[in-house]
Structure 1
Amino acid sequence: MPQITMKELLEAGVHFGHQTRRWNPKMKPYVFGARNGIYIIDLQKTVDLTRKATDFAVKVASEGKKILFVGTKKQAKDVVQEEALRSGMHFVTHRWLGGMLTNYQTVKASIDRLKKFEALKASDQWKETPKKEQARIDRELTKLKQSLGGIEDMKKLPGALFVIDTEKEHIAVKEAAKLGIPTIAVVDTNCDPTGVTHVIPGNDDAIRSVRLFSKLIADSCIEGGKVFQEKLRAQDKPMNDEETDTEKKVSKFEGDIDLRGPDEADLEAAAEAPTEGETPAT
């Protein structure tokens, strides 16, 4: 399991919260105290809760499910996308579109449109498309890639969300909660932890902090993915073992059972039986 230490948290500045006048009272359980007008996050709780969050991420990925990485703020988007791609997960880093989860069928229609344009550009038909039409399609394709490129291959709802800054991504958190999708989130002192399944108290503004947590969750996804692949490879093994056991059971009684099969045994018995009117040899 991916591990985190107090030293790593301190070096990344995870303990620095927001100014005391900008806090959310619901974050009080995760605050150690205040210093120079800034709330200090209780890093012991961060260590404990991060371990629980990474364990959960491993579990989700080990079941073959995807975790959707969400981080659209300037200091988070590049890191979040990088770690999501590294771990083979989906991501949203441009802007969360309302209904991205709760109205997924509508979003999927836009994804289908995106794929249609990509297929057109890759075909010979693109060369025959008028320049003006090409320019229009390119503009629309760029917008679609920005908004939906990270979920282009998401064929169903994710197994969980990983969110940086629940204040900014509150719509994503609410949609996930409405659908019963678990959420792992880095929650700063100005955020509302309501609706977050696995709270990671920490600085969601410092790039080093964002990178640290994004990497931990990505590593957890990779680890869980390996477990899932091992499960897939082992699926045939129980069947083979069962067949071997069956063969052993049959072999145990081979002196009592004619293993040639009923048809072959019956034919031989019929051949050896005396014909009508024939006297058996004595």
Structure 2
Amino acid sequence: MAVVTIRQLLDSGVHFGHQTRRWNPKVKRFILTERSGIHIIDLQQSLSYIDKAYEYVRETVAHGGTVLFVGTKKQAQEVIAEQATRVGQPYVNQRWLGGLLTNFSTVSKRLARMKELEELDFDNPADSGFTKKELLLKKRELDKLHKSLGGIRNLQKTPSAIWVVDAKREHLAIDEAKKLGIPVIGILDTNADPDEFQFPIPGNDDAIRSVGLLTRIIADAAAEGLIQRHQPSDESADAEPLADWERELLETPVVTDVAEVETIATESAADAAGAEAKAEGDAAATAAE
């Protein structure tokens, strides 16, 4: 069964690029045409690249690897947390912490500190050995750590790969991954540089439905990899054993088909609506500049 269909990509607006004047010439080979000043991405190529990324993520997780989901822009935060959590993978959906990958030893110490603070009983100052004021400060510290590190609490070493929603916004994450030789999988919009990815997926990295669909596909690949890792075989004999939380995941049925999205009345109407939304985003970006 196909991972996703052209219709699903179309309905989610994956084909809408940026305004033609905001493009990166390196993506020319992924562009099908131009309509109303908006580049239209070739979804046939997107399908091919989705299959490659899906296969890579599935095999990576099947052999004991992890995929770090990264998406800090507003329209990606919720789906990044939701899909990564669904398949037990780490994620960053708030501000990227410099050195998260390249200085992981320091990050590990902060994770240990977070877990240490979680052991405190903030509701019983008398039993904690701290004053109310001290507990208040520690609670604030814990809240701050939860916000910045909560998504990677189970990350014990640098990830095997990272999934990135917006290459331009997450350039710090990509730079660190490149320094460590960690493969980058992500959405390649028409304003991005394809050289930043090992596994690019040509598509719209701004629309919520597009980001949600593509992130879910990657999560489904990770879920399938977990199941494959659990199945005994000679090839998987050397894979790392499943952690307790991974075993719990396997008890929950995995959805491998991408959810159907609401059918659009006409494709011309979809093109017009998507192009208009994309143009508004580009206009806002221009104003900000």
Q: What is the TM-score with the length of structure 2 in the denominator?
A: 0.77
CA distance in 1, matches of 2:167, 2:18: 14
Residue number in structure 2 paired with 1:43: 43
AA aligned opposite 2:71: G
Q: Secondary structure at the match of 1:231?
A: coil
Residue number in structure 1 paired with 2:171: 170
Distance 1:115 1:30, change over 3 A: same
CA distance in 2, matches of 1:203, 1:186: 7
AA aligned opposite 1:76: A
Displacement of 1:25 after TM fit? 1.5
Asked if the contact 1:166/1:193 (under 8 Å) is kept, the reply is: no
Distance 1:2 1:116, change over 3 A: farther
Displacement of 1:123 after TM fit? 9.8
Q: Deviations over 1:263-282 (max 9, x none)?
A: xxxxxxxxxxxxxxxxxxxx
CA distance in 2, matches of 1:91, 1:7: 29
Displacement of 1:88 after TM fit? 0.7
| Counterpart check, 1:181 vs 2:199 | no
CA distance in 2, matches of 1:12, 1:164: 15
Asked if the contact 1:2/1:219 (under 8 Å) is kept, the reply is: no
Q: Deviations over 1:4-33 (max 9, x none)?
A: 110000000000011111111122121112
Residue number in structure 2 paired with 1:226: 227
Displacement of 1:231 after TM fit? 3.1
Q: Secondary structure at the match of 2:99?
A: coil
Asked if the contact 2:187/2:203 (under 8 Å) is kept, the reply is: yes
CA distance in 2, matches of 1:97, 1:192: 23
Displacement of 1:2 after TM fit? 6.2
| Counterpart check, 1:104 vs 2:104 | yes
Q: How does 1:105-184 map to 2 (within 5 A)?
A: 105-121=105-121, 127-184=128-185
Displacement of 1:195 after TM fit? 2.7
Displacement of 1:187 after TM fit? 1.4
Q: Deviations over 1:24-80 (max 9, x none)?
A: 112212111211111111111101000110011101011011110000000001001
* Range with bigger deviation, 8-17 or 186-195: 186-195
Displacement of 1:183 after TM fit? 1.1
Asked if the contact 1:16/1:203 (under 8 Å) is kept, the reply is: yes
Q: How does 1:47-126 map to 2 (within 5 A)?
A: 47-121=47-121
Q: Secondary structure at the match of 2:40?
A: strand
CA distance in 1, matches of 2:2, 2:64: 19
CA distance in 2, matches of 1:232, 1:89: 23
Q: How does 1:209-248 map to 2 (within 5 A)?
A: 209-231=210-232, 235=237
CA distance in 2, matches of 1:199, 1:71: 15
CA distance in 2, matches of 1:87, 1:98: 25
Q: How does 1:199-214 map to 2 (within 5 A)?
A: 199-214=200-215
CA distance in 2, matches of 1:109, 1:100: 11
Q: Secondary structure at the match of 1:33?
A: strand
AA aligned opposite 1:153: N
For the pair shown, which has the larger CA radius of gyration, 1 or 2?
1
AA aligned opposite 1:103: N
Asked if the contact 1:84/1:91 (under 8 Å) is kept, the reply is: yes
> Where do 5+ consecutive residues of structure 2 fail to align?
239-289
Q: Secondary structure at the match of 2:86?
A: helix
Residue number in structure 2 paired with 1:248: none
Q: How does 1:264-279 map to 2 (within 5 A)?
A: none
Calculate the aligned-residue CA RMSD, in Å: 2.0
CA distance in 2, matches of 1:17, 1:68: 25
Work out the percentage of aligned pairs sharing the same amino acid: 47
Q: Secondary structure at the match of 1:101?
A: coil
Residue number in structure 2 paired with 1:271: none
Asked if the contact 1:26/1:192 (under 8 Å) is kept, the reply is: yes
Residue number in structure 1 paired with 2:243: none
Displacement of 1:129 after TM fit? 2.3
Q: Secondary structure at the match of 2:95?
A: coil
AA aligned opposite 2:145: L
Q: Secondary structure at the match of 2:76?
A: helix
Asked if the contact 1:91/1:151 (under 8 Å) is kept, the reply is: yes
